[in-house]
Each structure stands twice: as structure tokens, then as C-alpha cells.
Amino acid sequence: MIGVKLSASIAKELLLLVRDRAGLVLLFVMPAFLVIVITLIQEKVTTTTVEVLFVDNDKGAIGTEIRDLFSRIDTLRLVTKLDGADLSAERVRRLVAAGRYQFGVVLPAGLSDIADKAARQQVAHHLFPEREKEAIAAIPEILVWFDPTVHGSFRAAVRTALDRVVAGVQTRLLVEHSLALLPEKIGEGVSPQMLQAFPLPKLDARELLPQLFEETAFIPVAEHFISAMQFTRQPTAVQQNVPAWAIFGIFFIAVPLAGSLIKERDSGTLLRLRVLPVSYLTVVSGKILAYMAVCLVQFAVIVGAGIFILPLLGLPAFDPGGEPLLLLLVLLGIIAAACGYGICLGMIGRTYEQIAVFAPVSIVIGAAIGGIMVPVYALPEFLRPICLISPLYWGESGFYDLLLRGGGLREILPETLGLLAFGLAATICGVLYAAAKRKRP
């Protein structure tokens, strides 16, 4: 008897699934599409090329070696010309500050010659300590500019490549000048006859030239983050990830919001609400405001975790910045977009099962192409323009302009207005679709 009832229950559930053909398609197609998108992105991220703007004012050996090294690194590509013209240091600065490129490297004029002179002076100081020491020449810095939204792993790749060049050049210069000055050191105070009679013992390089084995560098590489807003706070992974994943969490409010609309419609609650002396706009507005309040609490919890919990785990605390009203403005734009998306899905979706599959997967895809999971500059080139269709990208850009680039109202206004427009458009589309559906015979 129990087996018959169980079989009937199973048959009933399968029948409901089969009848919901749209939900059945979503159940299989959307997860497959998600796997394809995520796999494609992860595969391409490991092989994508990061462009590095490069200005060689030195025109010497160091510039040549940097070019040679970068040409052997598949994930980095030097850009020395744009629009057929050579780059200048000021143009590189403007392009990186505007966020159009992530890195800029500028070699100062005379770097190779000054480094060569400094290496000779260092060797002379070690070999002839009794002589009057000449002040070692100050070597100009190799400037590395990067956008503050760049993740640490990409920044480290560029810095490591430069450090390899610097270490190789230093070693070569020190060895060359050591070999050049050794005859003078050996012959100091010794007659040629004595040298013939008593051959010199082998010299220990570690004792004679300890600087060859030191890990310190004397050619400085200065790393600076730069933005058009003249921000001066060092970005951290916490500062980048907390707002990004907060956006991801906020957009999941679309799932319960859409589910609530569908359940009200299927249970007849919506019909009963319509006969009450309350406009439907009031009902929908109350629903939106309730879910917006939930999103505000959710964001507060995430920020609180970034401020108080992450430091307990050995990470820096999240800094929400000194503009709480601007932060709230961007946040309201994000919440409006998420709620509008939820209303649209709730109006268009036929069953809760459809929404339960479509909404989370579409949000994950939006996060994947919008820079939440992977930085936009690390995406395959053909996917980068697609990020503009993701409201999660607009939200992330707004937070980054405010929290990382130090922007103000003028900088965050385009993203905020775009998010509000998306939420309003999604809401209108959903309402118009529901109205048209009700008028169908």
C-alpha cells in the first residue's frame, strides 16, 4: 500500500515537471550554459595577455633586457605605441589613471649609464676601502604605475618580471667591474718580480665581493597605484573583494522576491489583494521597500564582517571610506537593480521552479562576466565588451570608483543612474508583460 502511494506521488511530481516544459528546458540548459561560461573564463584567464604600457627613456641595456624578458612571458605584452605614436610618460599616466590600461612602466633617461657608474663605485669601495670614497651615484627609479583595481597576483607578475631584470643587470654589472678592477687590486703594492716568484692564491668571491650574494637591490623599482581621482590609499584584496561579493549577495534577493510574486499569483492571494481598496502600485511598492530593507541589512552584515571578523583572521580590515552618503547612493542603485530584476522575473516566470533555476544561474553568469569572479581585464578579449550588459559590473565599478579610486559624486553618478534605470526598466517590462498576459483571451 505504501509502495503504491509512493509511486503515485513520484508519478505526480514527474508529471508536473513534464508539463512545465519551459522549466524542464531551464533545468538542463541553464546549468550546462553556466558550466560552459565558467569553464571558458577559467581556461582563458590562465592564458590571457595583460597589456603593459612601456616607455623607454633610457635607450640602454636595461631597456633592452626588459623588452627581451617581457617578450618571453606569454601573459604579459609590452605596448610601446598607440595610434602609431610613441608613448610618453604623461600619456601612460593618464591612460592608467583613466582605467583604460592596468599597468604602465617608465624607464628614466640615463638609467643604464648611471647604474653602470654606481656598480663600478660599489666594487671600488669594496676592493679599495682605504681610498677616499666617492659618493655613489643616485640611480633614478623605474616607475611602475597600476590601476588600484588590479588584483595582487597580476601586480606581482609584473613586479616579479622587473625584479628579475634588475637582479640580472646588477649581477652582470658587478661582475664586469669586479673583473676590470681585480688586476689593479692584485698589483697594488706588489712588484712584478714578486708576482712571478710567488703566485697569488685563489680569491674567495664571497669574501672579496659579498655584495654579489646579497639579496638587496640597488636599482630601485618604485611601484605606485594611480587613478584620475588622485587617491592615495593602498588597495588590498579585502578592499576589492568585500564590495564585489556584497553585490553578488544582494542580487540574490531576486530569488525570494520573484518567488513571492509567483506564490501570490498561484495561491490566489494576488487576486484577493486586487479587490481590496488598495492600489496594486501600493502593494508592489510595499514589497519592494521590504526587500530593499532586507538588502540594506544584508550589506551591513557583510561590511561588518569585513571590518570586525576579517582582522581576527589576520587580514586587514575593510575600510568603507569617508563618504557614507555616496556609498549609500551606490548601494541604493544596486538594490534597485536587484529588486527590479526580481520583479521582472516574478511577473514573467510561470512557475517557482523556473525561477529557482533561472535566477541564481543568471546572477552567477552576470557575476562571471561582470568582474565579480574574475577581473574584467583578465577575461578573454571577446568577452570584455559583454561585461557592460551586466548590472553587477556597474555596481562594482561604482564601488571601486568610490572606495579604490577615491571618486566623488560625479564619478559614481553614471553607474548609479545606470543601475536605477535598469531596475526601473526591468520593473516596467515585468508589469507590462503581466498586464498584457491578463488581457489575452
Element (H, E) at 119: helix 111-127
Report helix, strand or coil for 155.
Answer: helix
Distance (Å, rounded) from C-alpha 263 to C-alpha 351? 8
345-349 contacts: CB < 8 A, separation 24 or more? 345/254, 345/258, 345/430, 346/257, 346/258, 346/259, 346/260, 346/261, 346/262, 346/430, 347/261, 347/430, 347/431, 347/433, 347/434, 348/429, 348/430, 348/433, 348/434, 349/258, 349/262
Per-residue pLDDT band for 16 (boundaries 50, 70, 90) equals: very low
pLDDT above 50: residue 344: yes
Distance (Å, rounded) from C-alpha 117 to C-alpha 121? 6
Which whole number is the average pLDDT over 214-228? 60
pLDDT of 25: 59
Report helix, strand or coil for 53.
Answer: strand
The answer to whether 209 and 160 have CB atoms below 8 angstroms apart is no
Would you state the cell numbers that stand for residue 242, as one nine-digit string?
568585500
Question: Residue 125 is which amino acid?
Answer: H
pLDDT above 70: residue 351: yes
pLDDT, tens only, 148-180: 767 666 777 777 777 877 777 777 777 777 777
Which whole number is the average pLDDT over 372-400? 81
The more confident residue out of 274 and 353 is 353
pLDDT of 39: 44
Distance (Å, rounded) from C-alpha 258 to C-alpha 342? 5
What single-letter DSSP state applies at residue 57?
Answer: S
What does the DSSP assignment read for 68-99? HHHHT-TTEEEE-EETTEE--HHHHHHHHHTT
166-to-172, 218, 225, 361 alpha-carbon distances in Å: 10, 9, 21, 47
pLDDT of 171: 79
User: What is the number of other CB atoms lying within 10 angstroms of the CB of residue 92?
Assistant: 24
The more confident residue out of 172 and 293 is 293
pLDDT of 426: 92
What single-letter DSSP state applies at residue 149?
Answer: T
Distance (Å, rounded) from C-alpha 51 to C-alpha 37? 23
The answer to whether 303 and 246 have CB atoms below 8 angstroms apart is yes
Write down the residue that cell numbers 533561472 correspond to. Answer: 358
pLDDT above 70: residue 199: no
pLDDT above 80: residue 20: no
388-to-33, 358, 383 alpha-carbon distances in Å: 19, 20, 10
| Mean pLDDT value across the chain | 75
Q: How much of the chain exceeds pLDDT 70, in percent? A: 69
Per-residue pLDDT band for 225 (boundaries 50, 70, 90) equals: low
The more confident residue out of 127 and 112 is 112
Name, of 284-293, 305-314, 419-428, the range with top average pLDDT.
419-428
Which whole number is the average pLDDT over 199-204? 51
pLDDT of 69: 76
What does the DSSP assignment read for 384-432? GGGGGG-HHHHHHHHHHHHHTS---HHHHHHHHHHHHHHHHHHHHHHHH
What single-letter DSSP state applies at residue 328?
Answer: H
The answer to whether 331 and 302 have CB atoms below 8 angstroms apart is no
pLDDT above 90: residue 331: yes
Would you state the cell numbers that stand for residue 236, as one nine-digit string?
588590498
Would you state the cell numbers that stand for residue 26, as one nine-digit string?
531551464
The more confident residue out of 99 and 30 is 99
pLDDT of 218: 56
What ranges do the domains of the chain cover?
50-225, 236-439
Would you state the cell numbers that stand for residue 205, as one nine-digit string?
668571491
pLDDT of 192: 61
The DSSP bridge pattern shows strands 85-86 and 142-146 to be unpaired
Q: Which of 19, 138, 154, 185 is nearest to 73 (CA)?
A: 154
pLDDT of 9: 45
- Residue partners of 119: CB distance under 8 A and separation at least 6: 170, 173, 174, 176, 177, 218
Element (H, E) at 221: strand 221-225
CATH of 50-225 given 3.40.1350, 3.40.1710, 2.60.40, 1.10.8: 3.40.1710
pLDDT, tens only, 33-88: 544 554 455 445 545 567 888 898 988 888 888 888 777 777 678 888 888 888 88
The DSSP bridge pattern shows strands 50-56 and 76-79 to be parallel
pLDDT above 80: residue 368: yes
pLDDT of 128: 75
User: 29's torsion region: left (phi>0), alpha (psi -120 to 50) or beta?
Assistant: alpha
Which of 46-50, 179-183, 204-208 bottoms out in mean pLDDT, i.e. has the lowest? 204-208
pLDDT above 80: residue 220: no
Task: Look at the alpha carbons of 83, 87, 92, 94 in this order and tell me if their dihedral is positive or negative.
Answer: negative
Taking the CA atoms of the chain, what radius of gyration do you get in angstroms? 32
